[in-house]
Structure formats: structure tokens, C-alpha cells
Structure 1
Amino acid sequence: MSQYLVGIDGGGTSCRARIRDQHGQLIGEGKSGSANILLGVETAMTSIVDAITQAAAQGGLSASAFADMDVGLALAGAEQKNAWFEFMQVAHPFASIVLNTDAYGACVGAHQGDEGAIMIAGTGSCGIYLADGQQHVVGGREFPISDQGGGAVMGLRLIQQVLLVQDGIGQVTPLTEHVMQHFNHDIDQIVSWSKHALPRDYGQFSPAIFQHAAQGDTLAIAMLKHTAADIEMFLVALNRQGATRICLMGSIAERIKAWLSPPVQAWIVEPQYDAIEGALMFAGKPEHNLY
């Protein structure tokens, strides 16, 4: 075992790092940009190195310590086999890296390696149930074809509704006005933006949906009901696989529980640790590589 263990939780919006020594003592934490490997393996590695550099600096370590770090990577996009192999070919300065999905890391951390399930809904979404050494996964095939219940899909649906309102279809609400103000009341600006927008760009509107729903905005309320139905769909699918203990994780999932039906709420339990701790648990253990 190397002198340091590093856990990485990387998604479409951010990459978070945590370094511990051999005795489990916290060295430092860091945060950088996107580490979804489907958005570019080199970009993801840059974000990982940046986050670890920040975490190391907190503990008074320099880049010379990287060679003595075993890194556990829980990254969005790792479920795509081609992307996984492409990423593993990228040069890095660490003693070792182990790569699995962000959902896997979250589930390992949430149940401290025991049997259980999680439903992640942040920028994207994915559910995973770990039992008897097997992974049962629902969703998680990336925006825009999957990720229902995630912030990016919420933002996409909101933009679609805003454009319909501008066409005289649907009602103007404070939420639609909020979006139009963001784009300087220029529909062409929305269209141009959409040609290059990433999942995190759509996801930036999800906090406004929650905020306006709390203020009684009819569109925002309808959108949260839709998001809750999406997440519930995945929760029911996990339960059918055998999961009776499911943790909600991520900025959307953690705020959606009140919108779920009572029978589904009964399956929800609190996570024991986060995805970074899950990644730390499998750092230096190649048997946890996805492929």
C-alpha cells in the first residue's frame, strides 16, 4: 500500500478529491471542474490532478507526493467500456488508479461496502444496487438520452417550456421570466447557447425550479412532480431487484424525497458515507476496476 489513499468523486459539474494517510487521517480536500470521462478523458484527468493538487496543498504536500498515492476514481461516464479503456491509457503521476463509476463509489460509501442501493440525481442520474458481488444498474446512460430525474434533464425541459411560452403555448410564470431574463429576453440567444450547452449548463437552472416551486409557481411545481415521478420510476426498478434500503444522493435527489409517494419513501435510508469515501475504500484495490 502506498503512503496515501485518494478518493475522487467526479461528475459532469465538478470533481472532488480527498486524501487520507495510511492511518485514515485526513490530509486535505480539493474541488475542480468536470471529470465526466465522456466529455473528454484528458479533461477529466486534468480536473483530477487539479483537485488532488489542491487537497495535497492543504496538507502541506507537493506534487512529489503523487507517486506515493493510490487513487480510487468514482467517475461519471466510466460505465462506457470504450471510454473506460481510453481513460486508463492516459498518463498520470500516481502510484495506481482504480476506476469505477460515480454510482458505484456512492453506493460503496453509502452502505460502507455492505449490500444496499443508491439513487443519484445531481446533474445526471443513476441508480445502482450492490448485492452478492453483483451490480444492478438502472439509468445512467448520460444526457440527453437518459438521466431522467437529473438537473440537466430538468433544465432541458424548462428551456423547452420557456420556448413554448414564447410561442404563445402555455402561461408566463415567474420561472419562465427568470429564464428569459437570464438570456436577455432573446430567443435567438437561447438557440445559439443550446448548440454548445453541456449538461452542467442545463443543470444550472434546477435550483431556480426548486426556489420557484416553493413560491407556488405552477410550472415549477409541475416540473418537480415530473422529476419526482422519474426518480420514483428508478426506485421502483431497484426495489424489484431486491433493494429495500436505498439512499438518495445528489443535489436533486436529496431535495425530492417529500415529493415521492409514501410507500417509496419507506425504502429511503440515510447514507453512512459519501462517494469520495467509497472511492477511498477501493483505492489501491484493482479488483474494484469496472473492466
Structure 2
Amino acid sequence: MTTLVIGVDGGGTSTRCVVATESGEIAGRGYGAGANILTAADPGESLRTALLAATEGLSPGAVAAGVFALAGSESARERAGRLAAEAWRACGLAGRIEIVPDPLAAFAGATEEPSGTVLIAGTGAVAARITGRRLARRADGHGWLLGDAGSGVWIGRRAVQAVLAFLDGRAGPTVLLDALSGHVTAWEESDHEAPADETPADHETPAGHRAATDRRAVAMTTQRAVRAVHGGIARTGPAWLGRLAPAVETAAAEGDAAALEILREAADRLVSTTLSLGPGPGPLVLAGSLLTEPTLLAAQVRAGLGGLGGTVLTARDSAAGAAALALHMVASDALPAHRELIA
């Protein structure tokens, strides 16, 4: 019977699961909703969904080990261990499991090197120093309320603040108003709470700014925006704010001043977080959707970190990285399989 290992990457927006053979071949994949231990609506259900999909048609008894890389697990390790164990048992899986911080899996998903640095910017944001496939030091990653500076949620929150400043008359117009209007309208329609005919008061949409808005945007008010943001977070968690991050990228590419300033500050925060770790050996891995896609933010971060020197790698698959860590749990020499798995 072929020995199998499992890697799970549970972030704020989605959960990904990879099943790999002892030689590093991928035998199954599965997906679920967010599994951030601190912010996801139902992380346990997300883990079960991803595990069941990834192991469909495979022998549960062949699984020798599993690694769960779960966002928020360091602040709630006991709960993370309990939820992972419950999901593991619910899927009838054998073998032992280990809970690791998500930066460790992101790093292992990009390189077989045992040590280096990783910067993640997705729904959340964190930088970490990896030593001997263990997290030695981290900076930020304190969650959307207290940190995660430069993350997708941070960018989304700043976008809402820019729109509110415009509606209040504290700042100039921004095309981010259109993006927020679309999200607010979608939330109202899904929640059946759309206002009958809410027209902004003069102080909410300054007369000098009205020409810059379309018919839908004119109907936007601070009350509607604030109500939708709080409602969206209550229903799906702070990742709701992160949905605005792509709109900020688009607006910045079009030259919108507010969006450009948001991305500039986000890049500065991410660079500062990474530099706070100090110099160290090994490659620098950039992970998370904001840094692995060809975004303006990614380009600014790379430029800001250019003085570090050394090898800069783009992360591929954190779930595969978690599976690679599981391979190291069961094999005396897992490097060949590790390389194969993340190739």
C-alpha cells in the first residue's frame, strides 16, 4: 500500500488540502471555505470539507501523517488542535497530525531549503524567519483588528475609509466609491435589507463632488456603507473587507490618487514588517495572493526589499508545502519527494 501524507492550508478566505504520496506525487486535492481559527465563521466545517474532497477514493488507512497550517493557530493553539483532530477523525483518517503556523507551510511550498524568510500578504499579513523548518521569529500577523498591516483586509478597510472621507467632505473624489457601492448593493440584496429610497443628505455628498459620481454612487451614504461593512463582517468575517483589495489595484492602475496612496502605504508597511526581522540566511519567499500575482503592490514590495540581496522566490502552493512538512515527519530523507511535490 502506498503511504500517503496530507497537507492543509487554512487561511482567512479559503482552505486548500493536498494529499501526496511518499515519492512526492499529488494524489488528491480539496477545497473549503476559510479556516482562520480566530476569524472564520466555521473553521471546523471548512477543514472537513477540504479533507473529504481531497481524500475521496483514497484509502484512509494509508495516511501516515498530516500537517495543518492554520492562520490564527498560534493565538488559539488548543482550539486549532481540537478542530483539526475532530476533522481528521470525522474523515476516518489514520496517522498523526501536527499543527504549524501558516508561514512555515508557505515557505516550504516554495523551497526545500530548511531556513530563510517568508512574507505573506493575502487576507492577512505576516513576516517570519524560518530556521530548520521551524518558525524562529515572526513580525505582525496579529489579525485584522490589531495588525496585518498591508494585507487584503487592511487595504479593504482603507478603501472604505477613503470613500467615507469623500462622502463626509473630508477628502476629494475617488473611483473607489463605485467599487464600494457594488459591494454594498450586493450585500443589501443578499441580506434583503436594501433601503427603499435612501438619498444622501447634502453634508454626506458635497455638492462639488456630485459630478464625479454616477447614479448608483449618488445613492450611496455613509450609513449604508457602514451598515453593509458591519453586516458583511458579521456574516462572513473580516475577509469581506478583503474583497475590495482587487478594486484598489484596478483604481490605482487608472491613476486614482486615493488608491495609489493606499497601495504605497501598504507596500511600506509590508517592507517594514519584513525588515524588522533583521538579516538572515536563506531565500526570501513572497507568498499570498497580493504578492504572487503581478500586482502593483507586489512590484512596490519587491522594489522596497531589493536592498536585501539574496534569492527571492514566489510561493507556489502552501497546501503542498504543508504536505512536504508531513513528508519530513515520516521519512528520514524527504528532500527528493519535497522537491518533486513543489516543482
CA distance change for structure 1 residues 113 and 45 in 2, over 3 Å: closer, same or farther? farther
TM-score (norm 1): 0.86
**Aligned counterpart, 1:225:** 264
- Size of the aligned set, in residue pairs, is 277
Larger Rg, first or second structure (1 or 2)? 2
> Is the Cα contact below 8 Å between 1:18 and 1:55 reproduced in 2?
yes
Distance (whole Å) between structure 2 residues aligned to residue 244 and residue 233 of structure 1:
19
**Aligned counterpart, 1:278:** 321
**Aligned counterpart, 1:204:** 243
Of 65, 71, 77, the residue aligned with 1:84 is 77
- Partner letter of residue 305 of structure 2? V
The residue correspondences of 1:48-197 to structure 2 (distance < 5 A) are: 48-57=47-56, 60-61=57-58, 65-69=59-63, 70-80=65-75, 83-90=76-83, 91=86, 92-93=88-89, 94-95=93-94, 96-131=96-131, 135-184=136-185, 185-196=220-231, 197=233
SS at match of 2:276: helix
SS at match of 1:99: strand
Query: Deviations 1:95-117 (Å, cap 9, x if unpaired)?
Result: 22210111111123323142111
SS at match of 2:142: coil
Query: Deviations 1:213-252 (Å, cap 9, x if unpaired)?
Result: 11111111111101111111012113x1425631211111
Distance (whole Å) between structure 1 residues aligned to residue 106 and residue 182 of structure 2:
36
SS at match of 1:160: helix
Aligned-pair CA distance for 1:266: 4.6
Aligned-pair CA distance for 1:128: 0.8
The residue correspondences of 1:1-12 to structure 2 (distance < 5 A) are: 3-12=3-12
> Is the Cα contact below 8 Å between 2:128 and 2:135 reproduced in 1?
no
SS at match of 2:43: helix
Distance (whole Å) between structure 2 residues aligned to residue 128 and residue 149 of structure 1:
15
- Partner letter of residue 171 of structure 1? G
CA distance change for structure 1 residues 152 and 102 in 2, over 3 Å: closer, same or farther? same
CA distance change for structure 1 residues 273 and 181 in 2, over 3 Å: closer, same or farther? closer
Query: Deviations 1:82-131 (Å, cap 9, x if unpaired)?
Result: x2112323423232221011111112332314211110000000111113
CA distance change for structure 1 residues 147 and 99 in 2, over 3 Å: closer, same or farther? same
Query: Deviations 1:53-88 (Å, cap 9, x if unpaired)?
Result: 22223xx33xxx3354322111100111xx211232
Of 299, 303, 326, the residue aligned with 1:258 is 299
Aligned-pair CA distance for 1:190: 2.1
- Partner letter of residue 78 of structure 1? S
Aligned-pair CA distance for 1:273: 4.9
> Is the Cα contact below 8 Å between 2:179 and 2:244 reproduced in 1?
no
SS at match of 2:66: strand
Query: Deviations 1:157-181 (Å, cap 9, x if unpaired)?
Result: 1111111111111111222232134
Q: Which runs of 5+ in 2 are unaligned?
A: 186-219, 331-343
**Aligned counterpart, 1:289:** none
Aligned structure 1 segments of 4 or more residues deviating by more than 3 angstroms: 65-68, 260-263
Of 280, 293, 305, the residue aligned with 1:242 is 280
> Is the Cα contact below 8 Å between 1:136 and 1:241 reproduced in 2?
no
SS at match of 1:260: helix
Distance (whole Å) between structure 2 residues aligned to residue 200 and residue 160 of structure 1:
16
- Partner letter of residue 161 of structure 1? A
CA distance change for structure 1 residues 189 and 243 in 2, over 3 Å: closer, same or farther? farther
Distance (whole Å) between structure 2 residues aligned to residue 116 and residue 15 of structure 1:
25
Q: Residue 214 in 1 paired to residue 253 in 2? A: yes
> Is the Cα contact below 8 Å between 2:39 and 2:238 reproduced in 1?
no
> Is the Cα contact below 8 Å between 1:112 and 1:278 reproduced in 2?
no
Query: Deviations 1:126-165 (Å, cap 9, x if unpaired)?
Result: 1111135561111111111110010001111111111111
The alignment yields a C-alpha RMSD, in angstroms, of 2.4
Among all aligned residue pairs of Structure 1 and Structure 2, give the percentage whose two residues are the same amino acid: 27
